[in-house]
Structure 1
Amino acid sequence: MNKTIKSAAKFHPLAAAVMLACGAGLAHADAGLEEVTVTAQKREQSLQEVPVAVTAFNEDSLIENGVADLSDIQKLTPNTTLQVSRGTNSTLTAYIRGIGQQDPLWGFEPGVGIYVDDIYVARPQGAVMDVFDVERIEVLRGPQGTLYGKNTIGGAVKYVTKRLTGDTEFRIRGAIGSYNQRDIVLSGQTGLTDTAAIGFAVASYQRDGYGENLLTGADNYNKDILSGRVSLELNPTDTLWIRVAADSTKDDSNARFGFLMEDAPTGSETSPGSVYDHESNMPSDNSVETSGVSLTAEWQLSENLTVKSITASRSGETETNIDFDSISRPDFDVPAYYEDDQFTQEFQLSWSGEKSNLVSGIYYYEGTAKGSFDAVLGMYGITQNVSGSVDTESIAVYATMSWL
């Protein structure tokens, strides 16, 4: 959350400590109080009016805090853990207030819901999204079952992308750092007609590893990610807004092995500057591919009544190698494969009055999650194969009403 305080206000250490503990950020600016707008309850509200524990970050706040991907949010949000899962680069392990999911096995829904433009991302593979072309990220702590369903008993993380303005613009943002880091983000948009605009964003994140496989010489903890998004937005009338969007992410970074060497510099477990070497007998091959398409339409029937439809399809495929002890013996080696696809349809109806508000809707989900992995116990001469496929179909109706 990014707040602006009056320049004439006096600094009080206790007040600053309370604000920081609540996830607030201090910024010295001109006189005035910036209003933070969120959609934690599926309608636009001032953050101060939302009866939910929410921490929100706009684009400027994310850049100022050096947030590169979704896992960096945990450094700024209380009671929240967002980390890359063991052995992988793009699979998310998310916990809020101690509730979440450690292993991304098919048939188990995460306790923390991930949403991209109100589209539920059912599987954690590929959910460590790099931050670009973003308007706001919201972290909702605590159960969100009424509006977000049974899979948010810990909380929810909402990734909101920017709406197009129709102006012709092009932006380049890049970063160069240690270990041959080379990041570049290209984005732009232009108006096609008075009522239509198209936009795009492409991001490439490259970095050498800060560790290596002492047997093969392969980099450890490197980064090789390419992401892209394109959207077409239409405003046929003043009361109708339509967006067609597609996105794709490909992560070819090496599988994450290794442990901190005794003579390495001290530091956090995954921070550059530490040396993570290993002698794994497993190959470093790792591939994560995710993609999705969506159609969103919002129709304002009257000054108080709005109807919204969100149709989306997503799919993902992961091939990875996990070496639990990162040594040359096949004590517990796990070559794993995951594949998933999902289709969702949601209809929302929002009504706002002078002293009351209503948010209601119907939600449909259909998906398949499948995969397989070999648990190799070489010292015992045993290889245990585990595989499965789970089909899920669900429908839900929700409504919440509030009085001022």
Structure 2
Amino acid sequence: MKKTTIKTLSSLLLSASALTSIGFINPVLAQSTTAAPSDEAADVVIVTARRRDEALQDVPISVTSLSAASLEATGAPDITVLQQSAPNATVQVARGSNSTLIAFIRGVGQQDPLWGFEPGVGLYVDDVYIARPQGAVLDIFDINRIEVLRGPQGTLYGRNTIGGAIKYVTRKLATKPALNARLNMGSYGQIDAIVSGSTPLSDTFRVGGALARYQRDGYGKNITTGAEHYNKDVFAGRVSAEWEPSENLYFRFAYDKVKDDSNAKHGHREAAGAGLTTGAAILPNVYDTDAGIGSANSVENSGWSLTGEWKINDRLTVKSISASREGASDSLIDFDTNQVKALDVPARYDDKQFSQELQLLVTGERLNGVFGLYYLDAEASGAFDTIVGIANLTIATSGKVETESFAAYGDFSFDLTDALSVSVGGRYTEDSRTGQVYRQNFTGLGSPLFGNTAAIAGLLRSNYRNSKDFNDFSPRVSVSYEFSDALTAYAAYSEGFKSGGFDMRGDAVLTPKTVEGYKPEYVNSYEVGLKGSLFDGRANFAAAVFRAEYEGQQITRQEPTLAAGIASFVDNAGSSTIQGFELEGGARFTDNLSMTFGLGYTDAKFNEFRSFTLVGGVLTPINLAPTAVFQNTPEWNGNVALKYTRDLGTMGSLDATLSGSYRSEYSMFEFVNPLVDQLDSVTLVDAGIGWNSEDGVFRMALTGRNLTDERYKVGGYSFAGATFGNVQNSFYGPPKTVTLSLSAKF
């Protein structure tokens, strides 16, 4: 399948659609169909993928939408479950982290969460862009739905949506007093308590809030310190107020805060130690570690947003979204996973952002769309020590990146006939980025940046400040044709853009050109899709074939050197081609039994990968395309779920789910490493059963995740050789867990 062409994929898509039409497959935009778990395949799903309310079937974009009810039924703990539900999506916790998000869609993303590098998949909470990935592994509580938009979304969502976007949509406040409470008790000492509620203070004003406390022992231990490893200790809260002074005016203020004090997460050694770590053992439990650096870790994020809507008339609505966020992280990374200081890194991150967006929404009989202006002022900074024990050397690194972005965009669809619709959009972006980088050698195990005042200053490797401006126009055009009320086809072309920047690890001694920064990356995407429903709405489906031409892909690499520690490169890696397809859907076989499923295929390959390598301390050009692969991009992935419901009359109702997901093997980096890559396919099986009282007030549910106790890798580090203790480490997804949930809604 590595040489599969778009023509072949189109044939597969048409074949699948044909099977659907005669009943052999009952597919569907499965998890994307409903807010009610008992009738997922029948309800009309409303999404805001184009910044306005639309039926999912009418949107010429590949979208998966998961309702709060469907997520709750499977015991979904946080947004990383999206990769088990959305085709061609990788959504994981970053290596060496508890709450930093790494997301890839259709092969496009960014694994490196260091300040200065920006994600390729945008995360939005109630239409507010979250600029940094730290603290972005959002727990699922008090939500309405989550939408996953695949392919470049630059026209409407702008910054860093070159691969796609994830929209986390919270609930609006109820017009009557409401109180919801849930208690989760489960494996590894899990105790979660979530309470939310709201009340009207007048006919036009209401307030609400939610509190969540998540606690769990570790899946493993730090055998050096005895501390829990892979544990959870999180507090999250949200308060909001809504005011509707008239039927044409609406305002919403929201404030949220998340504090994660889970222990630092260190890797599992996959190879024998060397140098200072000679004799280091490969521990039998993949969740255990022998790290000596400690477990101190703290992540704190908070922010507010103010949304206002003024409905001028039936055709025009003005919307304003103002938001401010800030975050701080302090963590420890023990790369050598040993008691010695072969390669240890204490680190801290700080970020803040302010954004303002204005929209004019147009609603008409044939013309619908939005015009908007967007402004972002953001700063990301941090510091870390790279402690190389065998050389009694510490490389101290600190810096910050300031970003000011302005954009104007529009996206309008026009119904040429009752069946034929054309959409045209575009976004003009101007980004100004200023980078400041400091990097210096110190003799001693630790630098003054982290309290070692006795360290002796050595070679100053980088100390510069530079600014660069970037601008781009990203268009999108699509054509939709409605064959009937139950079948719609579309074809779309879109472009994606992500600004260049500055390498915060940049070493001006080894790589003098690092002060000039790295360039933007671009994606040109082509997509053809088919959406429809069958059997009087008892089944629905969505299918898409896509091809993307990727230019200037920003890839971060670190190459070990004894004299300098670790040399950093940011490659604008030539060009690559990504193509594949997605098919997802759902069906209701009987009033009690329904099914959802999804299937994704991605064929991604580098055409050219221009880079440098160090030969005798001299940078030498090299083309790495023949050996390079796409990271975090399995070739095949899929999911299937069965749901059964039964009405018990005055005894309430029962619902049961059984679901499975599949991902073929994948690489953690652009170059194959059998020690840290996931060499085998991964199949995860989840199940749940729940009881609801007749009045819907009480619910009791028992859910199990990863019931076959699969061990699978989600991240890794690789610094081979004795100098760094032969670092070959992996991080693993959660083991089998079982959770009992008790909830009440008043």
Decide: shared fold, TM above 0.5.
Answer: yes
Report the counterpart of residue 160 of structure 1 in structure 2. Answer: 169
Deviations 1:305-356 (A, max 9, x none): 1110000000000001112232223232211100000000000011011112
**2:257 maps to which of 244, 248, 259:** 248
1:32/1:92 CA distance change after superposition, 3 Å: closer
Displacement of 1:54 after TM fit?
0.4
Q: Which residue of 1 aligns with 2:413?
A: 402
Aligned to 1:310: 321
Partner of 1:136: 145
Match status 1:15 vs 2:25: yes
Matched, 1:301 2:312: yes
SS class of match (2:229): coil
Q: 1:161 and 1:83 mapped to 2: Cα distance?
A: 21
Contact kept? 1:187, 1:200, Cα under 8 Å = yes
Where 2:83 maps in the other structure, the secondary structure is helix
- Identify unmatched segments of 5+ residues in structure 2: 1-19, 272-284, 416-746
Alignment map for 1:72-111 (pairs within 5 Å): 72-111=81-120
Q: What is the CA–CA distance in structure 2 between the aligned matches of 1:217 and 1:28, rounded to whole Å?
A: 43
Note the alpha carbon deviations across 1:359-382, whole angstroms, 9 max, x for none. Answer: 110000001100011111112222
Does residue 1:224 correspond to 2:233, yes or no? yes
CA offsets 1:271-322 (integer angstroms, 9 cap, x no match): xxx6511111111111000000111101111111111000000000000111
**1:280-295 equivalence runs, <5 A:** 280-295=291-306
What is the alpha-carbon distance in structure 1 between the residues aligned to residue 58 and residue 79 of structure 2? 26
Distance 1:183 1:160 in 2: 21
Q: Secondary structure of the equivalent of 2:28?
A: helix
Deviation at 1:13, TM superposition (A): 7.4
Preserved contact between residue 31 and residue 67 of structure 2 (Cα < 8 Å): no
**Pairwise mapping of residues 42-57 of structure 1 onto structure 2 (< 5 A)?**
42-57=51-66
Report SS of the residue matched to 1:379: helix
Distance in 2, Cα, partners of 1:127 & 1:345: 20
Q: How does 1:254-269 map to 2 (within 5 A)?
A: 254-259=263-268
**Distance between the aligned counterparts of 2:72 and 2:41, measured in 1?**
22
Distance 2:101 2:223 in 1: 27
Partner Cα separation in structure 1 for residue 119 and residue 175 of structure 2: 37
- Aligned in 2, Cα 1:167/1:124: closer, same or farther, shift over 3 Å? same
Native 8 Å contact 1:67 1:73 kept in 2:
no
Sort the Cα spacing of 1:57 and 1:30 in 2 relative to 1 into closer, same or farther, 3 A. closer
What do residues 59-108 of structure 1 show as CA deviations (whole Å, max 9, x unaligned)? 10111122111111111111111111111111111111111111112222
* SS of 1:277 mapped into structure 2: coil
Q: Does the Cα contact within 8 Å between 1:53 and 1:140 map onto a contact in 2?
A: yes
Match of 2:288 among 269, 272, 277: 277
Counterpart secondary structure, 2:354 = strand
Aligned counterparts of 1:276 and 1:12: Cα–Cα separation in 2: 48
3-state SS, counterpart of residue 238 of structure 2: strand
Residue correspondences, number:
383
Q: Which moved more, 1:309-318 or 1:88-97?
A: 88-97
Pick the aligned partner of 1:172 from 181, 190, 199: 181
CA distance in 1, matches of 2:37, 2:407: 45
> In structure 2, how many angstroms separate the alpha carbons of the residues matched to 1:332 and 1:209?
24
Whole-angstrom CA distance in 1 between matches of 2:50 and 2:381: 32
Structure 2: how far apart are the matches of 1:149 and 1:36? 25
User: Which structure 2 residues correspond to residues 376-387 of structure 1 after superposition, within 5 A?
Assistant: 376-387=387-398
Amino acid at match of 1:341: K
Indicate if the aligned counterparts of 2:33 and 2:43 stay in contact, CA closer than 8 A.
no
- Residue in structure 2 matched with residue 268 of structure 1 by the alignment: none
Distance 2:52 2:40 in 1: 28
Q: In 2 relative to 1, CA 23–379 (structure 1 residues): closer, same or farther, beyond 3 Å?
A: farther
CA contact (8 A) 1:339 1:370 kept: yes
Query: Which amino acid in the other structure matches residue 194 of structure 2?
Result: V
Between structure 1 and structure 2, the one with the greater Rg is 2
Q: Is the 8 A contact 1:261 1:276 kept in 2?
A: no
Structure 1 residues 98-119: Cα deviation after superposition (integer angstroms, max 9, x where no partner): 1111111222221010000000
Distance in 1, matches of 2:182 and 2:40, equals 30
Structure 2: how far apart are the matches of 1:29 and 1:389?
50
| CA deviation map 1:128-158 (0-9, x unaligned) | 0101110010000110010111410010000
- The answer to whether residue 363 in structure 2 is matched with residue 352 in structure 1 is yes
State the alpha-carbon separation in 1 of the partners of residues 98 and 189 from structure 2.
18
Q: Deviations over 1:187-223 (max 9, x none)?
A: 0110100100000100011000011111110000000
1:209 aligned onto 2:237 = no
**CA distance in 2: counterparts of 1:237 and 1:255, whole angstroms:** 50
Unaligned ranges ≥5, structure 1: 1-9, 263-273
Larger deviation, residues 84-93 vs 120-129: 84-93
Aligned mate of 2:192, from 183, 195, 206: 183
Distance 1:139 1:30, change over 3 A: closer
Structure 1 residues 319, 400: closer, same or farther in 2, change over 3 A?
Answer: same
Q: Kindly provide the amino acid, as one letter, of the partner of residue 246 in structure 2.
A: T
Percent pairwise identity: 52
Mean alpha-carbon deviation: is it higher for 247-256 or for 104-113?
104-113
Out of 384, 387, 394, the position equivalent to 1:373 is 384
- Contact 2:122/2:165, CA 8 A, preserved across alignment: yes
Q: Structure 1 residues 131, 12: CA separation in 2 closer, same or farther (over 3 Å shift)?
A: farther
Residues 23 and 78 in structure 1, CA contact (< 8 A), matched pair in contact too: no
Q: Is the 8 A contact 2:32 2:45 kept in 1?
A: no
Deviations 1:232-280 (A, max 9, x none): 1000000111011100000000011142899xxxxxxxxxxx6511111
Matched residues in 1 for 2:130 and 2:39: separation? Answer: 39
The letter of the residue matching 2:168 is Y
Mapped to 2, the partners of 1:67 and 1:43 lie a distance apart of 27
Q: Equivalents in 2 of 1:260, 1:174: separation in Å?
A: 36
CA RMSD of aligned residues (A): 2.3
Higher relative contact order (CA 8 A, sep 6+): 2
Normalization by structure 1: what TM-score?
0.90
Deviates more, 1:111-120 or 1:101-110: 101-110
Quote the Cα distance in structure 1 between the aligned partners of 2:95 and 2:255.
29
Say whether the 8 Å CA contact 1:37–1:47 is kept in structure 2. Answer: yes
Paired amino acid for 1:399: G
Give the TM-score normalised by structure 2: 0.50
Q: For 1:91 and 1:259, how far apart are their aligned partners in 2?
A: 19
Residues of 1 paired with 2:336 and 2:47: CA distance? 43
Report the 3-state secondary structure (helix = DSSP H, G, I; strand = E; otherwise coil) of the residue aligned with 1:187.
strand
Deviations 1:12-60 (A, max 9, x none): 87423x437x655798857982010000000000000111110001110
Q: 1:66 to 1:25 in 2, by over 3 A?
A: farther
Among candidates 402, 405, 411, match of residue 391 of structure 1: 402
Counterpart Cα distance in 2 of 1:381 and 1:182: 44
Q: Tell me how far apart the structure 2 counterparts of residues 49 and 388 of structure 1 sit (CA, whole Å).
A: 46
Query: What's the secondary structure of 1:147's corresponding residue?
Result: helix
Classify 1:184/1:13 alpha carbon distance in 2 versus 1 (closer, same or farther; 3 Å): farther
Determine the structure 2 residue equivalent to 1:326.
337
